[in-house]
Structure 1
Amino acid sequence: MSRRTTTLRTRASKRLATVGALAAVTTLGALISAPAAQAGARPAGAKHKPAICKRIPTIDTRLTKSIARLSGDAKVNGSIAHLQARIAQAEKSNRPAVKAYLNDVLTTRQRLLPELQQRKTDLANVKTWCDTQPSAAKK
């Protein structure tokens, strides 16, 4: 090995050690300052509603649309009834692979509908909770 190769390796090692030390110091600084932010501490006098309270109308609209779509009749694309009609057509057309795939999709959607209805109920409970939280206007 030449002297130049050894020197380059030594320099690379020193650079790597320096970068590692800088990363460690930066991480340590972030960890020291982060506990206050992670603990959820708010400045004195700040009484803002949680972010979920602002998103409730949007979430409610999406849940309502999804439930309506899944509960729709055979003419509504994405509904359980529409999927059942497609399965019947696949069976009639002697397409077993398509029928098997659509049956799996049907099973998933049938499990999804009660879950979405439960989420809507839970969202109503969250809305009630949000209504009890102080807002920024009531300071």
Structure 2
Amino acid sequence: MSRRNTARTRAPRRLATLGALAALTTIAGLAAAPAAQAGPMPGADKHKPAICKRLPAIDTRLDKAIERLNGAAAVKGSIAHLQERIATADRLDRPAVKTYLNDRLTTRQRLLPELRQRKTDLANVKTWCDARQPAAGK
């Protein structure tokens, strides 16, 4: 019976300890935030090449997404395919489906310029990576 009582008394202490650790972590993070905004920290450059390593994969992913959105009506996920589905829903007199698909169409139409902008931004990052000296030991 004493074993049960100790287990019950330990749980609130553990929760209190975890709460205190969470509070300290939050306070430490807030205290360190202004220092991070002050300027580049020495040694921060060693983390920058990671994005340079991911560039080909990101570029491929963006190309696939843009190609899919610009695809013909037979390509699932394309804007033309969604427009065809909206026309079908309208023809079959399904207003709720048509409204839902119209909202999806609006989202996809907004996404296309954003993806093109990301592609441009990625080209700028590639230029930066090409101009950057490789980090020592990597």
Q: TM-score, normalised by structure 1?
A: 0.69
Alpha-carbon separation, structure 1, partners of 2:111 and 2:126: 22
Aligned to 1:3: none
Cα deviation, 1:35-72, whole Å, max 9, x if unaligned, reads 6xx664329xx867432111111110000000000000
User: Amino acid of the residue matched to residue 122 of structure 2?
Assistant: L
Of all paired residues, the percent bearing the same amino acid is: 63
Q: Deviations over 1:88-110 (max 9, x none)?
A: 00001111110010000000000
Aligned to 1:65: 64
**Residues matched between the structures, number:** 118
Alignment RMSD (CA, Å): 3.5
Structure 1 gaps, min length 5: 1-7
Please state how far the C-alpha of 1:133 moved relative to its aligned partner. 1.1
Large movers: runs of 4+ above 4 Å: 46-49
Match of residue 56 from structure 1: 55
Q: Match of 1:78?
A: 77
Whole-angstrom distance in 2 between the partners of 1:58 and 1:95? 40
- Residue 42 of structure 1 aligns to which amino acid in structure 2? G
Query: Which residue of structure 2 lines up, in the alignment, with residue 133 of structure 1?
Result: 132
Q: Which has the larger radius of gyration?
A: 1
Q: Which residue of 2 aligns with 1:41?
A: 42
Determine if the alignment matches structure 1 residue 89 to structure 2 residue 88.
Answer: yes
Are the equivalent residues in 1 in contact too, given 2:82–2:101 (CA < 8 A)? yes
SS at match of 2:113: helix
**Structure ranking higher on relative contact order (CA contacts 8 Å, 6+ apart):** 1
